[in-house]
Amino acid sequence: MDEADWRGDGELGFRRIATPVALLVALAVLKPLVTTLCLGSGMSGGLFTPVLSTGAAFGGVLGAAWSLLWPGVPSGAYALTGAAALIGAAMQAPLSALVLLLELTHVAFGLLVPMTVAVVTATAVARWVDGYSIYSARLSTISP
């Protein structure tokens, strides 16, 4: 590869190496894996940011897939919705997830209805499958 392959014009150097969708897929797969390895090894690490970024990556991938069927759809809206849904499901706190994403972005007020539907659905599925939040599940693994 020559230097032009590595130098991207504002594209983080991924012009011909990876598409943005491939990068989102890689992030959606690798981020939970790396977080699991880190926390499983006993190292310190947070849970909020990995869950937020994984939800945004999954939402961005779904938004890109949907934009193939319906051109012109902003995949960033799907990324925000995916981040809110995964945070709501992981924390078992749907209202807190909505407020957090609205406060973090200050632009997602137009997405309030789809975000609410996604967060409530994801939280209901998470409660049906497991019922624990990411924080209460870790409490059971800590020995006194």
Whether 87 contacts 100, CB under 8 Å: yes
What pLDDT sits at residue 87? Answer: 93
For the ranges 5-9, 12-16, 41-45, 101-105, the maximum mean pLDDT occurs at 101-105
Residue 4, pLDDT above cutoff 70:
no
Buried b (16+ CB within 10 A) or exposed e, 64-92: beeeeeeeeeebbbbbbbbbbbbbbbbbb
Q: Would you tell me how many other CB atoms lie within 10 Å of the CB of residue 52?
A: 22
Q: Which of 115 and 73 is assigned the larger pLDDT?
A: 115
What is the per-residue pLDDT for 110? Answer: 85
Give the model's pLDDT for residue 98. 93
- What secondary structure letter does DSSP report for 113? H
Q: Using one digit for the tens of pLDDT, what is the confidence trace for 38-70?
A: 767 766 677 788 888 899 999 988 988 888 888
Q: pLDDT tens across 114-139, in order? A: 999 999 999 999 999 987 777 776 66
Residue 102: pLDDT over 80? yes
Q: What is the pLDDT of residue 144?
A: 60
**Taking the domains of the chain in order of start, what are their residue ranges?**
3-139
